[in-house]
């Protein structure tokens, strides 16, 4: 495996990359639909709706149940969803295997780490704290923190500016076509993870630079981390 000797920092997506968030998102959506007295949806459906932010996810949910909401209904639904998700996200969101150990290894070896997610920024501080990984990130960017969501490269440009990097010095790790497109648009090298949420499509079709089945394999690309991430 070739080493990426020029890499000075790593940025990550969140949902489907670091965490399995589908159970919490689905539960909040199901409660929202129940409040609105509408048909429910399955966790499997929600998994295919994740990745473009809350508004797009809700649009996909309404389309799946054949409902065309008014602007007023959509606003009500979003408020209900946010309220329910705030209650369940800490309990229903879990780290994927080897994520915490790998982040710690990178942090301990002095790689600045950033989070670039389309998830609304309001949820991130409490969620990262509950997962025990907030301390590893020097920069956290959520929906509302950047001018445009992924696949636009705005978030990655913001990371490069904050860390003082050129594009070939920032590695981006994600699980969906939005992540890979954002990194390619920013001219950053890419790692894709096969276990995430890519609308039911193999992430290999997005042609990432590297494709891994296990999060800890990121360490094989970098010259410095030596810490054990196998536990």
Q: What is the DSSP letter of 207?
A: -
Dmax of the chain from CA atoms?
55
Q: Judge if 144 and 98 occupy the same domain.
A: yes
Q: Judge if 82 and 98 occupy the same domain.
A: no
pLDDT tier at 171, thresholds 50, 70, 90: very high
Q: Is the pLDDT of residue 69 over 60?
A: yes
Which of 47, 63, 92 is at the close of a domain?
A: 92
Calculate mean pLDDT across residues 134-150.
Answer: 97
Q: Which of 6, 13, 175, 228 is catalytic?
A: 13
Q: Judge if 121 and 15 occupy the same domain.
A: yes
Q: 178: which residues sit within 8 A by CB, 6+ positions away?
A: 51, 52, 118, 149, 150, 151
pLDDT tier at 231, thresholds 50, 70, 90: very low
Calculate mean pLDDT across residues 23-28.
Answer: 96
Q: Is the pLDDT of residue 27 over 60?
A: yes
In sequence order, what DSSP letters do the residues of 74-97 get, joined into one string?
HHHHHHHHHHHHHHHHHHH-EEPT
Q: Judge if 177 and 84 occupy the same domain.
A: no
Which of 92, 122, 144 is at the close of a domain?
A: 92
Q: Judge if 44 and 88 occupy the same domain.
A: yes
Q: Judge if 127 and 14 occupy the same domain.
A: yes
Q: Judge if 62 and 98 occupy the same domain.
A: no
Q: Judge if 37 and 69 occupy the same domain.
A: yes
Q: Judging by DSSP bridges, how do beta strands 190-193 and 19-20 pair with one another?
A: unpaired
13 labelled catalytic: yes
Say how far apart CA 25 and CA 44 lie, in whole Å: 11
Q: What is the pLDDT of residue 36?
A: 98
Question: Which stretches of the chain are DSSP H helices?
Answer: 22-35, 43-47, 54-64, 71-92, 99-108, 124-131, 154-163, 177-186
- Half-sphere exposure for 130 (CA within 13 Å, toward CB): 16
Q: Is the pLDDT of residue 32 over 70?
A: yes
Query: What is the extent of the structural domain holding 183?
Result: 9-20+94-221
42-57 pLDDT per residue, tens: 999 999 999 888 999 9
Q: Judge if 81 and 133 occupy the same domain.
A: no
Q: Is the pLDDT of residue 10 over 80?
A: yes
pLDDT tier at 229, thresholds 50, 70, 90: very low
Residue 172, domain CATH: 3.40.50.1000
Q: Judge if 73 and 112 occupy the same domain.
A: no
Q: Which two tokens stand for residue 225?
A: 């981390």
The number of beta carbons lying within 10 Å of the beta carbon of residue 39 is: 11
Tell me if the pTM is above 0.95.
no
Q: Is the pLDDT of residue 228 over 50?
A: no
Q: 217: which residues sit within 8 A by CB, 6+ positions away?
A: none
Q: Is the dihedral of CA 198, 219, 163, 189 positive or negative?
A: negative
pLDDT tier at 225, thresholds 50, 70, 90: low
- Half-sphere exposure for 176 (CA within 13 Å, toward CB): 25
């Amino acid at each position: 495996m070739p080493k990426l000797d020029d890499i000075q920092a790593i940025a990550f997506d969140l949902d489907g990359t670091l965490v399995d968030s589908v159970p919490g998102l689905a539960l909040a959506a199901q409660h929202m639909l129940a409040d609105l007295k509408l048909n429910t949806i399955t966790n499997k459906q929600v998994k295919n709706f994740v990745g473009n932010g809350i508004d797009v996810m809700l649009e996909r949910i309404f389309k799946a149940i054949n409902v065309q909401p008014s602007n007023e209904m959509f606003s009500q639904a979003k408020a209900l969803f946010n309220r329910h998700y705030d209650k369940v996200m800490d309990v229903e969101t879990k780290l994927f295997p080897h994520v915490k150990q790998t982040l710690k290894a990178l942090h301990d070896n002095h790689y600045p780490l950033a989070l670039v997610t389309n998830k609304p920024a309001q949820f991130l501080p409490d969620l990262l704290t509950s997962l025990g990984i907030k301390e590893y990130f020097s920069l956290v960017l959520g929906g509302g923190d950047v001018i445009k969501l992924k696949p636009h490269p705005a978030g990655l440009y913001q990371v490069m500016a904050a860390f003082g990097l050129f594009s070939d010095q920032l590695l981006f790790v994600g699980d969906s076509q939005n992540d890979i497109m954002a990194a390619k648009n920013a001219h950053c090298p890419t790692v894709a993870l096969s276990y995430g949420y890519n609308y039911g499509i193999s992430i290999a079709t997005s042609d990432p630079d590297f494709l891994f089945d296990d999060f800890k394999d990121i360490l094989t690309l970098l010259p410095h981390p030596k810490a054990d991430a196998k536990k």
